Structure 1
């Protein structure tokens, strides 16, 4: 393997790295992303969906007991649930330009913290997790979360990093 090149600085594109960090937009994008991950399939049965309970348990008057119309009413064991959860969608729509602004703000926040590393010609001829782990060791980022963005589809880089819990490859 070739020697590691001497680190230096590069000029970041002005269109992407203008230095502004919009925290409310980032918050909106993250909250929408997390909400869109939810399944929303929690469900309980209300009294009309519980099987049984068609017959009145006892007559209306004359027994001394409270009047009851169904054994599937909520006060009965085995009865339906009052105001229980029903399946619903938690999806939140975020416009494309707002998502792009949130992504740009996240890049700017990382650039402001000097937490960006750029590696030129980053590709593997075969998927090897050990090679990617060795690279992360040399960069001293093994104990931090790492996002690897590649120019185009690089399946060997993806396969090398998918088994590492702190590495996410796009």
Structure 2
């Protein structure tokens, strides 16, 4: 039976208080840059808002009556200033917003997500803490905790929390280069953009549920 990856759990003082086994199917996948790139392209394409838009004759404001009489002016007849042939009129066959939703199969998304987690774990850029709860929000205390945790890189830090965790969020959110995400909202781009990631134990358990790890283990 696969025993998993032995990993230390740290407390707020940066001390390793215990060890746990991480599932290899989540944190022990072989890298696949082609799959990562494909899923990221799909994700970014779906985030891109459709911006190109032109107004047709029916959408241009004004021009409810004829700009001049039909005959006797020497000019070509005209029914509306909204006509495409007139300055400021509607556009014929102009670009319109199109929402193109690209889809990736669930297994593909999960595979790419686990590869991103595995790559970060292999590089030593994922760290697990037992708890980051506060009685009251305190940014100064949060900053001290970060200095004590043995982070390999201290650039952009991703803090992954479980549930509301309002005191934790309020304590860390004003610190520079910190991004806070709930585990349910975590996506592959968040992981790849971060230099280091910190998961609470509660968030880790929720992550296992996201991969149905508990159900597979009991089968």
Structure 2 length-normalised TM = 0.58
Q: Quick check: 1:136–1:142 contact (8 Å CA) kept in 2?
A: no
Over aligned residues, Cα RMSD in angstroms? 3.7
Instruction: State the SS of the aligned residue for 1:149.
Output: strand
Aligned 1:19-168 pairs, distance under 5 A: 19-40=29-50, 43-50=53-60, 51-52=62-63, 55=66, 63=74, 70-139=80-149, 144-150=155-161, 153-164=164-175, 166-168=177-179
1:82/1:153 Cα in 2 relative to 1: closer, same or farther (>3 Å)? same
Specify the alignment match of 2:3 in structure 1: none
Structure 1 unpaired stretches of 5+: none
Deviation at 1:157, TM superposition (A): 1.6
Deviation at 1:106, TM superposition (A): 0.8
The structure with more helix, counted as a fraction of residues = 2
Structure 1 length-normalised TM = 0.71
Structure 2 unpaired stretches of 5+: 1-10, 183-219
Rounded to whole Å, the distance in 1 between the matches of 2:32 and 2:68 is: 63
Rounded to whole Å, the distance in 1 between the matches of 2:12 and 2:110 is: 36
Instruction: State the SS of the aligned residue for 2:179.
Output: strand
The structure with more strand, counted as a fraction of residues = 2
Instruction: State the SS of the aligned residue for 2:128.
Output: coil
Rounded to whole Å, the distance in 2 between the matches of 1:45 and 1:102 is: 41
Deviation at 1:67, TM superposition (A): 7.6
Q: Alignment length, in residue pairs? A: 169
Q: Quick check: 2:159–2:179 contact (8 Å CA) kept in 1?
A: yes
Specify the alignment match of 2:191 in structure 1: none
